[in-house]
Homo-oligomer: A and B are copies of this chain.
Amino acid sequence: MLDALFEELTVLLDDRFSNSEAVLQDHSKDESHHTPTPPDAVVFPTSTEEVAKILQICSKYKIPIIPFGVGTSVEGGVIPIYGGVCVDMSRMNRILQINVEDFDVTVEAGLTRKRLNQELRDTGLFFPIDPGADATIGGMASTRASGTNAVRYGTMRENILNLKVVLADGQIIKTGGRARKSSAGYDLARLFVGSEGTLGIITEVTLRLYGVPAAISAAVCSFPTISDAVNCCILAIQSDIQVARVELLDSKQMEACNRYSKLNYKALPTLFFEFHGSSETVRLQAEEVGKISREFGAGEFKWAEKTEERNKLWQARHDALYAALSLKPGAVAWSSDICVPISRLADCIEETCVDLRETSLVTTIVGHVGDGNFHVIFLLDPENEKEFEEAKRLNVRMINRAIDMDGTCTGEHGIGIGKREYLEKELGEGIQVMRQLKNALDPHNVMNPGKVLTV
């Protein structure tokens, strides 16, 4: 059966079909601790119409279809656990239309977020959503990604105006237009955002853009304890100060970032802040946050005024996972990802720290604390099963804690294969609705099977 399928795909795609061992290996894994599994073949479409033809062919054979961006997921979202055809979207990376007057842009799903912002450089506009990795826009949409700017600009959920999607049977749909708001029927865009490729393949995305602020200033500030840092952040948020970014790094993570990104900060619990606005509002915001931080025993604000300094600072933050990995050569990283209402964040982090003090694992904490979202990064010896068991035990405790606090088992990483059982715990009967939706749009379960929902 595979031979016939491969034959059809080769006729369609010629050398943009591959089942060479090296290409299969490249598409067997993401950046997580989950076990790689190769697909049976990889295809590299260059247009929505080609994606549609690929899905028509694959659907006929009822073979799994796994959409793939650049493989930076961290819960196994792109791992072909049942084999099948991996659809690598990286060659669909064009910007289709920049509407400067409307603050929006339409791109192909395989474009990465950094390339997008490079291309926007001369427009005075930017796209704020920034997961750590230089992910594709399609991948970010599929996992409902966010990052450091979400506290001010929202997540992929709030920043998508329209999608073009190819359904399992090859049908091409759009979810709406470019209007800023619409009450036109069910919210199809939001249905596909966060569906992790299980309902269709996103091929084009229309995104909201924002004006580059007139003034930007960033500051780094260390605290005596992690609780002080967290409580400073909470009070700033509850005081309704419009921070653009507020990121927590624990002392171990600061140690790693200093080394990996050649920085020179104290290895203490630290907040990275950024303020956007007019020079006047930025100054006022920074002053107010400065006052609050001193209430919690903070050290000096170290300002990163110049663009290059700021870029270096945020690149260091985005590289936190890679920096953490450098703490333990040969380790793999397992990044947890819970999110709770801000009033519970201090409790949640403190209780988590008690767990971490008692474990022998090497761990760091980083967090988008303005959203109530943080990650414990576990650094694990890939040969040592006991370390994985211990990480799992601690991760489960964190997830239960978050759910008990009316939070979620994943703030931004998605469910993938790593969190399916916790999704059930979090939602209860709601999971049946998800199954009904999946079954309605993908009755043969060919779209990224086994992700989000167990088969």
A residues touching B (Cβ–Cβ < 8 Å)? 99, 101-104, 143-146, 150, 154-155, 157-158, 167, 171-188, 190-191, 193-195, 199, 210-211, 238, 240, 278, 280-281, 284, 337, 339-343, 371-373, 402-403, 406-415, 419, 423, 426-434, 436-437, 439-441, 452-453
Contact = CB atoms under 8 A, between A and B. Distances in A.
A31 to B, nearest CB: 16
Given A195-B186, A423-B185, A434-B185, A180 B410 contact: no
Contacts of A453: 185
B430 A441 contact: no
B167 A158 contact: no
A101 B343 contact: yes
20 contacts: A101-B343, A102-B343, A144-B181, A144-B183, A145-B183, A155-B181, A173-B428, A173-B433, A174-B428, A179-B373, A179-B407, A181-B373, A182-B410, A183-B408, A185-B194, A186-B194, A187-B193, A210-B240, A280-B281, A437-B440
Contacts of A413: 183
Contacts of A429: 171-173
Given A158-B158, A181-B146, A176 B284 contact: no
B183 A143 contact: yes
Instruction: Select the residue from A146, A154, A408 with max chain B CB neighbours within 10 A.
Output: A408
Given A173-B430, A174-B430, A182-B410, 8 more contacts: A158-B158, A172-B429, A175-B427, A182-B339, A183-B413, A190-B190, A280-B284, A281-B281
Contacts of A409: 184
